[in-house]
Structure 1
């Protein structure tokens, strides 16, 4: 089975890193650099997982997460929110709005990969 990911991040170096990690896991990867672009991309095609930065131009990740969760077509979509802020309040807000996971930047490549595999049901698969 082929999996798809949407990387929503405005920092080019982090985009490259996330694309690399996800491709190593076997995902087809699309990228959005702001919140509005992310929502349009999801309307066009619902991915299996979204890696969603909180600090984004036009619409922040919290708002994007909330709108994704209101969309019935996205009920099986997994969301990992990424943030440079590690405050408990940000983590709690992300989870309350429907994020499946919250990771602080800089994140461990291995931890991110394991979280992605767990969320989409790839555990035990070689990748």
Structure 2
């Protein structure tokens, strides 16, 4: 059974690109373009991992990450913040929210693939 990875981004091209990459790596992407969709998907799909954009229309990725960490069923799930925001302050906010990694856009697919495998395997 393929491991599910939640991908949250409000940019349709980035959502599609990340989903295609995950499919090629043998994972099942679960797509969400808002925080509300992400929270629903977390509850319904129980993914193995989440890739969260920081800037979303309704709530930021940090809040979603905090929600994951405060939920006993999801707390151990690896979470990557994936953002164009590259400041030290943003990266520190990601760490404080509980993110395992902070990946800046544009990211290289090979590097992302290595990180994902490091956390959840094939």
TM class by shorter-chain length?
over 0.9
Number of residue-to-residue matches in the alignment = 122
Mapped to 1, the partners of 2:12 and 2:121 lie a distance apart of 28
Q: Which residue is equivalent to 2:46?
A: 46
SS at match of 1:72: coil
> Which residues in structure 2 correspond to 1:1-127 (within 5 Å)?
1-122=1-122
Report the aligned-residue RMSD: 1.0
Once the two structures are TM-superposed, the CA of residue 76 in structure 1 deviates from its matched residue by: 2.7
Structure 2, unaligned stretches of length 5 or more? none
Once the two structures are TM-superposed, the CA of residue 2 in structure 1 deviates from its matched residue by: 2.3
Mapped to 2, the partners of 1:88 and 1:46 lie a distance apart of 31
In the TM superposition, structure 1's runs of 4+ consecutive aligned residues that sit over 6 Å from their partners are none
Mapped to 2, the partners of 1:79 and 1:21 lie a distance apart of 17
Give the TM-score normalised by the residue count of structure 2.
Answer: 0.95
Give the TM-score normalised by the residue count of structure 1.
Answer: 0.92
Mapped to 1, the partners of 2:95 and 2:113 lie a distance apart of 19
